[in-house]
Structure 1
Amino acid sequence: MTKPIALLLALLALDTAAFATWSVVAVDRTTGRVVISSSTCTGNTDDFLKDVQAVVVPGKGVAACQAGVDSATHQNQTLVFEELQRGTDPARIIELLSQDPGFQGRQYGIVDLQGRMAGHSGLTNGFVTQDLHGQAPGTEIFYSIQGNILRSGAVVPHAVKAFLAARGGVTDRVMAAMEAADAAGGDSRCTCQTPAVPPANAAIPCSIRTSLVAYILAADPRDANGPGDEMNSHNNGKYTMYITVSQPNHGPAFAIKPGEDLDPVKTLRMRYDAWLKAHPQFKP
């Protein structure tokens, strides 16, 4: 066993926090764009979700690291980040991650710009746990969609169906998949009565709520990796698009506002459409 892998195992054994979610990662080999979007019922901020989950390597690939996350060390994300930079096959990256003692409590979806994909849903993840990946027919678009503690076994298949049926580019497809997962039930723990309890404000409706936070991120080949040490550089770059949603009690910056919806994915769609109108040069 190499020293870096041995160190990874020691660090991961120290910190495993349960974190249920669903996510969509995808790439377009024609444009070089990589995209990740996710939503969860864990009551924290949108930036926290991205921080513990996303791995973004512009011009190389993208990944989601979820379920039992190593929120203190970020060593699983660091390993994925470094291996994607090296051009390692996602299937091989999963093999490297499998040496982690907590592997069966984790979930991964990895796609690179060579059109290679791999996923893993641990045996001890909360039911329903599932990952599916493939290629949109007639395109150079590849995807991996995964989730755990889902309301039903229909969530991920419905997301795949919407991804494949959507018109437009990779970013539009990812947004459509997120909406389909939301409509199919999303995270099984969330309802309109889930804490934080929605405020008595008719201007912010809540017809359904399958999560508490959501985001969508797109990075193009020219985008830079994030600054700082390895614990931060895997997802804090200056990316082409980053749109986030959090609950009203999480502060003013990205919190749901009157006129939006307490279901984060519905509000994410509103903000996504508004962002596209404000950035007509962006080809979704």
Structure 2
Amino acid sequence: MPRAAAATYSIAATDMATGQVGGTSASCVGDLELSVIYGGVPGVAVAHAQARLNTAGRDRAVADLQAGLTPDEVIADLTRAAFDPQFQTRQYGVVDLTGRAAAFTGSQDGAWAGHQTGQLGALTWSVQGNLLTGPAVVTQAEAGFLAPGCDLADRLMHALEAGREGGQGDARCTPRGVPADAAFLRVDGAAGGAPVVFLSVRDTGNTDPVALIRAQYDAWRAEHPCPEPP
């Protein structure tokens, strides 16, 4: 069943150089496990399904990607009224490992809402958000992702942090002095199996969940150092 929650700002991304897919997000959703928005197809693509959460949309995106549909075709399928009469309350980002990305922001997602997709070198991404303090969240997250990083996980961590710079974030949580109260970061390897990394916090109250993810990330990185440059 749909749930009125889901991610506020997120980035789904792929790295053609390594075959990794991944995503990260922060939102003001209390005890909801935020990674519920994530649908990964290792070695192929990744999708985020957010705004008014509909796990059927996430699962449909995964099935479509497994069947070989392009990101544009996936978005077209998910936004058919015959599949989902409430599609204007949804938001999607879909990215594959061939350099293609597509996104959708419904007209009923709540201000501010929007998305930005891109491709540069081996990297392809889709940044999307709803109920944000403003468009700066998306542009900052994208800039963070494109800042120097040693691998996909590193770039996603930078994107998550950058999205909430300058007091930006989820407009439901920023009045409490935090950008969100839940966050996650996940990367899947090309061969599938256990995630390369999966970090998650929820119901963090007046503590910044992005800072908690950073602490978890640093602990993980200490045991999994950045790969040596080629």
Is 1:188 aligned to residue 188 of structure 2?
no
Q: After TM superposition, give the deviation of residue 50 of structure 1 in Å.
A: 1.2
Distance 1:170 1:240 in 2: 10
User: How do 1:1-284 and structure 2 match up within 5 A?
Assistant: 15-19=1-5, 20-45=7-32, 48-51=33-36, 53-70=37-54, 74-99=55-80, 100-136=84-120, 139-184=121-166, 185-191=168-174, 193=176, 208-224=177-193, 238-247=194-203, 262-280=207-225
The residue type equivalent to 2:209 in the other structure is: P
For 1:217 and 1:167, locate their aligned partners in 2 and report how far apart those are by CA, in whole Å. Answer: 16
| TM-score of the pair, normalised by structure 1 | 0.74
CA contact (8 A) 1:60 1:84 kept: yes
How far apart are 1:280 and its partner, in Å?
3.0
- The CA deviation string for residues 18-69 of structure 1, in whole angstroms up to 9 with x for no partner, is 2251111110011000011111101114xx2112x11011101111100011
Q: Deviations over 1:133-152 (max 9, x none)?
A: 1013xx21111000000011
Secondary structure, in 3 states, of the residue corresponding to 2:99? coil
* Cα deviations by residue, 1:73-125 (Å, 9 ceiling, x for unpaired): x2211111111112210000111111121111100000011111000000010
Q: Which amino acid aligns with 1:79?
A: R
CA distance in 1, matches of 2:97, 2:42: 10
Cα offsets for 1:158-191 (capped at 9, x unmatched): 1112222233222211111111111141101104
Bigger-Rg structure (1/2): 1
CA shift for structure 1 position 192: 7.0
For 1:186 and 1:283, locate their aligned partners in 2 and report how far apart those are by CA, in whole Å. Answer: 33
- TM-score (normalizing by structure 2): 0.91
Cα distance between partner residues in 2 of 1:84 and 1:148: 24
Query: What is the letter of the counterpart of residue 173 of structure 1?
Result: R
What CA RMSD, in Å, does the superposition of the two structures yield over aligned residues? Answer: 2.0
CA shift, 1:243, in A, is 0.9
The alignment partner of 1:93 has SS state of helix
Give 1:97's aligned amino acid: L
Looking at structure 1, the residues matched to 63 and 227 of structure 2 have their Cα atoms a distance apart, in angstroms, of 28
Q: For structure 2, list consecutive stretches of 5 or more residues without a partner in the other structure.
A: none
| Structure 2: distance between partners of 1:57 and 1:90 | 12
How far apart, in 1, do the equivalents of 2:58 and 2:203 lie?
A: 26
Q: Which secondary structure state, in structure 2, belongs to the residue aligned with residue 34 of structure 1? A: strand
Q: Is the 8 A contact 1:37 1:216 kept in 2?
A: yes
Seen in structure 2, the aligned counterparts of structure 1 residues 94 and 187 have a Cα distance that, compared at 3 Å, is same
Alignment partners' CA distance in 2, 1:122 and 1:164: 26
Whole-Å Cα distance in 2 between the matches of residues 220 and 158 of structure 1?
Answer: 26
